[in-house]
Amino acid sequence: MNKLFYGDNLTIIRKMAAESVGLIYLDPPFNSNRSYNLLYKNTTGLPIPEQIEAFCDTWEYDYEKSQMAYQIPDIMRQYGIENDVVQFWYYLTLALKNTNQKLLAYLVYMTIRLIEMHRILKYGGSIYLHCDPTASHYLKVIMDSIFGHSNFRNEIVWHYTGWNKKLHQKFESRHDIILFYAKGDNADNFMGFSIPWKNEDEYIRKRKQKVLVDEDGEKYVMSDAGGGKRIKRYLKDAMEYGSPVDDVWNIDKINNSSKEKLGYPTQKPLMLLERILKSSSKEGDIVFDPFCGCGTTVEAAIRNNRQWIGCDIAIHSIKLIQETRIKKYSLTEGKDYSIEGVPQSVEQAKYLFEQDPFQFQHWAIEKTGGFCSSKKTGDRGIDGKIYFEIERKLCGMVLSVKGGNIKPGDIRDLRGVLEREDSTEMAGFICLKKPTKAMLQEADVAGFYEYQGIKYPRIQILTIQDIFDGKKWYCPSVVKQVRKDMGQAYLAI
């Protein structure tokens, strides 16, 4: 069954069976040291200051990563990776720890996932790792270690065009790198890819060969077959076969005028994914994209009758795929595909909180119609906001989410935030546990916000159960979020 997973791919891949997928395409964050944000505007046109973070592409060598770095040699040994390679990893870690910790953090993050991807890939299957020159040379060494140098197939250069500027110290960068490896002999699963000739004239012009005509009037050329041999090649066959592509792919990037554009930063073109899928998988094969973003791989798989599994850590990516790609092909949830990891009950929400508190917070805020704060730690006690319009001005309701234990002090803190923040009239508290009487009393102390003769409690509390029961914030007309002109924005931070 086709599947979309919401969550960290490491947790998900670890649960997948060995040798269960035929093709993996991954387009992870690139170590480019920036955050990609989706910008939102509201239904009124008044600007909403909040940005929702698509994903953060910055890397810290924190405690978790340093623990992983120590574990990797053991994991490598368990997976049968040669001792010399394990030693290499050990020295690389030491060197980078003293010189480039951000890069080390990125490589730890990638290595641990690539080891698991090797496990779930079928023998004869292929993996395409999309990266860019920032870290591609390091990733290639790691891919050699995990997949074996003899299983390296190509370094594909995806070249795209744009308006080149004259830079001061370097040339404009106009390509990404896609590292193509196989798991063992992939001859049965490699179809290659050919681009059809437009017509016979184009073929003749490009091949610069003399056209001959046989006794039946069929046109042909004599082609070099290697070793001094020449073979007869009929033009009608050449037309059907097309021109095989090499390892430099010229495909346009998604830009503002692309019809495919969904407004997701780093969206890749369908043409790129279709080429990969057609080259290295057959109809019915399972294609896996562990960093599926807005689902380009999913759509390529649907169009080409492959089974698919997509995974993303951002809830809006899952929502976007459902609302666009899946809707476009009228697929039915439960019959044609399933979604896993998006809580459907309080128990599942609790599970999400235990696995990933930040994702839980993100999910809960979006579920009540709010905008998330882009900072993982919350922005001075604010995890998100809801906006409403008062006389052509936007007013805010700050949101705070607590998945664990709750106490009256949390509500007192929220009162403090209300007093501190400008243009903020109300506050909402979302929690998994039922609020105590003392908490409700604390909320009552905040009083009411009055607008057009209606009184709204200044502090409101919703439990996750309330949210599943359909309860909403009680406030003046809430401004809904609309993706900005369905546009795409790159913000370098």
Ligand X SMILES: C[S@@+](CC[C@H](N)C(=O)[O-])C[C@H]1O[C@@H](n2cnc3c(N)ncnc32)[C@H](O)[C@@H]1O
264 contributes a contact to ligand X by CB under 6 A: yes
Q: How far is the CB of 102 from ligand X (least distance, A)?
A: 16
296 contributes a contact to ligand X by CB under 6 A: yes
55 contributes a contact to ligand X by CB under 6 A: yes
Q: Identify which of residues 314 and 406 has a Cβ nearer to ligand X in the complex.
A: 314
Q: How far is the CB of 141 from ligand X (least distance, A)?
A: 21
Q: How far is the CB of 316 from ligand X (least distance, A)?
A: 9
**3-state secondary structure labels for all residues of the chain:** CEEEEECCHHHHHHHCCCCCEEEEEECCCCCCCEEEEECEEECCCCECCCCEEEEEECCCCCHHHHHHHHHHHHHHHHCCCCHHHHHHHHHHHHHHHHHCHHHHHHHHHHHHHHHHHHHHEEEEEEEEEEECCCCHHHHHHHHHHHHCHHHEEEEEEEECCCCCCCCCCCCCCCEEEEEEEECCCCHHHCCCCEECCCCHHHHHHHHCCCCEECCCCCEEEEEEEECCEEEEEEHHHHHHHCEECCCEEECCCCCCCCCCCCCCCCCCCHHHHHHHHHHHCCCCCEEEECCCCCCHHHHHHHHCCCEEEEEECCHHHHHHHHHHHHHHCCCCECCCEEEECCCCCHHHHHHHHHHCHHHHHHHHHHHCCCEECCCCCCECCECEEEEEEECCEEEEEEEEEECCCCCHHHHHHHHHHHHHCCCEEEEEEEECCCCCHHHHHHHHHCCEEEECCEEEECEEEEEHHHHHCCCCCCCCCECCEEEHHHCCCCCCC
Q: Identify which of residues 140 and 362 has a Cβ nearer to ligand X in the complex.
A: 362
339 contributes a contact to ligand X by CB under 6 A: no
Count CB-CB contacts under 10 A for residue 59.
Answer: 19
268 contributes a contact to ligand X by CB under 6 A: yes
Considering only 8, 176, 299, 442, the residue that binds ligand X (CB under 6 A) is: 8
Q: Identify which of residues 297 and 463 has a Cβ nearer to ligand X in the complex.
A: 297
Stretch that binds ligand X, among 195-203, 243-251, 292-300, 344-352 (CB under 6 A): 292-300
Q: Identify which of residues 146 and 315 has a Cβ nearer to ligand X in the complex.
A: 315
User: What is d(CA 94, CA 97) in angstroms, rounded to the nearest whole number?
Assistant: 5
Alpha carbon of 96 to those of 7, 91, 139: distances in Å? 29, 9, 14
Q: Identify which of residues 325 and 402 has a Cβ nearer to ligand X in the complex.
A: 325
Q: How far is the CB of 363 from ligand X (least distance, A)?
A: 14
Residues 308-327 that bind ligand X (CB under 6 A): 311-314, 317
29 contributes a contact to ligand X by CB under 6 A: yes
359 contributes a contact to ligand X by CB under 6 A: no
Stretch that binds ligand X, among 227-235, 259-267, 362-370, 380-388 (CB under 6 A): 259-267
Amino acid identity, position 273 = L
The site for ligand X, by CB under 6 A, has a size of 18
Q: How far is the CB of 431 from ligand X (least distance, A)?
A: 26
Residues 402-431 that bind ligand X (CB under 6 A): none
Burial class of residue 75 (count of CB atoms within 10 Å of its CB; 0-12, 13-18, 19+): middle
Q: How far is the CB of 52 from ligand X (least distance, A)?
A: 12
Considering only 145, 151, 267, 279, the residue that binds ligand X (CB under 6 A) is: 267
277 contributes a contact to ligand X by CB under 6 A: no
User: What is d(CA 338, CA 187) in angstroms, rounded to the nearest whole number?
Assistant: 32
Q: How far is the CB of 105 from ligand X (least distance, A)?
A: 13
Stretch that binds ligand X, among 118-126, 212-220, 235-243, 261-269 (CB under 6 A): 261-269
274 contributes a contact to ligand X by CB under 6 A: no
Considering only 294, 339, 426, 431, the residue that binds ligand X (CB under 6 A) is: 294
Stretch that binds ligand X, among 214-222, 290-298, 325-333, 334-342 (CB under 6 A): 290-298
Residues counted in the chain = 493
Query: In 3D, which of 200, 184, 189, 211 has the Cα closest to residue 237?
Result: 200
Q: How far is the CB of 43 from ligand X (least distance, A)?
A: 25
Q: Identify which of residues 27 and 285 has a Cβ nearer to ligand X in the complex.
A: 27
Q: Identify which of residues 291 and 449 has a Cβ nearer to ligand X in the complex.
A: 291
189 contributes a contact to ligand X by CB under 6 A: no
Based on its alpha-carbon atoms, the radius of gyration of the chain, rounded to whole angstroms, reads 27
Considering only 147, 249, 291, 388, the residue that binds ligand X (CB under 6 A) is: 291
Site string for ligand X, 108-137 (x = CB under 6 A): ------------------------------
Considering only 21, 23, 27, 300, the residue that binds ligand X (CB under 6 A) is: 27
CA atoms within 13 A on the CB side of 60: 4
Q: Which residue is nearest to ligand X (CB)?
A: 293
341 contributes a contact to ligand X by CB under 6 A: no
Q: How far is the CB of 28 from ligand X (least distance, A)?
A: 6
- Residues binding ligand X (CB under 6 A): 8-9, 27, 29, 55, 264, 266-268, 291, 293-294, 296, 311-314, 317
